[in-house]
Amino acid sequence: MRTQAESPSNIALVKYWGKHGLQLPLNPSVSFTLSHSTSQTRIHWKEAPEFGYSFRFHGKEQKAFTPKLDAFFERIMESAPELSTQQLEIESENSFPHSSGIASSASAFSALSLAIEEGIRQLRNKPQVDLNRASEWSRLGSGSACRSLFPKAAVWGAHPNIEGSSDIRGLDVSQRLHPVFEDFHDVILLIDEGVKSVSSTAGHALMDGHVFGKARIQQAFDHVEEMMDILSTGDLQRFIELVELEALTLHALMMSASDPYLLMRPGTVAAIESVRQFRKETDTNICFTLDAGANLHLLFPAASEQKVMPWVENELSMLSNGRYICDRVGNGPKWSSAI
């Protein structure tokens, strides 16, 4: 049996930072699902006396991924016992460069989980895949991956005022989006493509006992509720203000941790100032956000593209030596014959 899946990365608007238990978030988060920045995973299934797997990334064995994959399979085995008699040959590729400011673990583990779910579906003779179960599994590999399995926008983390929200899986909120957000663009400025000095896993751990931890958790709950209202009403001004506040809060948490660190680079700060100046001078609806790295994401509606892209090409991209990736809000993953 062979299965395959393609799943996108996502960009958080309200950030998840800090976790507890088995990959559970300290606070809820909201994200846009991307379109072009994807991972493609193919699995060849063979019956075997016991479970085993091999993994190749862009055609090469990658032993560095083994600890995370071992932990992932150990965590999902109880809910997918069929794996215990399967040998999996896994091949995976990304459509974007590694360390580019795009969450590769989100796309990779969501694609892997979906390809496994498709195989389990076939073994159980079920009529369709269970995206909620694939979302739960992907969270066990990489927390934010659980948001990538849904189109356009997703919430992860239980919130008392968002029906269906959960700590164990993502929630599809695409039906709640105002039309202005359905064709939003995300241009990622590749300011620093090197490996981060502090991993996201280590960064999350530094939220334990953080001096601003409790205040941040409450802020995130408030911001998620506010963001959901913004996404439904189409209020671009409030969107810009809240997205940028969230990005800077994330990095402020890193800089004020017990073992502080800084992931922004001089080019990051220069790009932030350029975005603010461009927005002021041209009255364009555009904002920036950051994941846990130096590369800047530019978010803007399709209606602003003709203003924004010439500026990116001719001016802003000088801060990244002309390197940037164009993406946009997308329709979620594909699998098997759907690809």
Rounded-to-integer distance, Cα 114 and Cα 41, Å: 9
Contact status, residue 109 vs residue 72, Cβ threshold 8 Å: yes
Q: Locate the domains of the chain by residue range.
A: 2-176, 179-328
The whole-number pLDDT of residue 86 equals: 96
Q: pLDDT tens for the chain, 339 residues: list them.
A: 999 999 999 999 999 999 999 999 999 999 999 999 999 999 999 999 999 999 999 989 888 889 999 999 999 999 999 999 999 999 999 988 765 557 688 999 999 999 999 999 999 999 999 999 999 999 999 999 999 999 999 999 999 999 999 999 999 999 999 999 999 999 999 998 767 778 888 889 889 989 999 999 999 999 999 999 999 999 999 999 999 999 999 999 999 999 999 999 999 999 999 999 999 999 999 999 999 999 999 999 999 999 999 999 999 999 999 999 999 999 999 998 666
3-class secondary-structure state, position 197:
coil
- CA distances 296 to 55, 66, 108, 130, 247, Å, are 31, 30, 21, 34, 10
Phi, psi of 34 (to 5 degrees): -85, 175
Tell me the fold of 2-176: Ribosomal Protein S5; domain 2 (3.30.230)
Domain 179-328, CATH homologous superfamily name and number: GHMP kinase, C-terminal domain (3.30.70.890)
The whole-number pLDDT of residue 98 equals: 64
Contact status, residue 85 vs residue 45, Cβ threshold 8 Å: no
The whole-number pLDDT of residue 203 equals: 87
The whole-number pLDDT of residue 103 equals: 64
Q: What is the pLDDT of residues 131-149, one digit of tens each?
A: 999 999 999 999 999 999 9
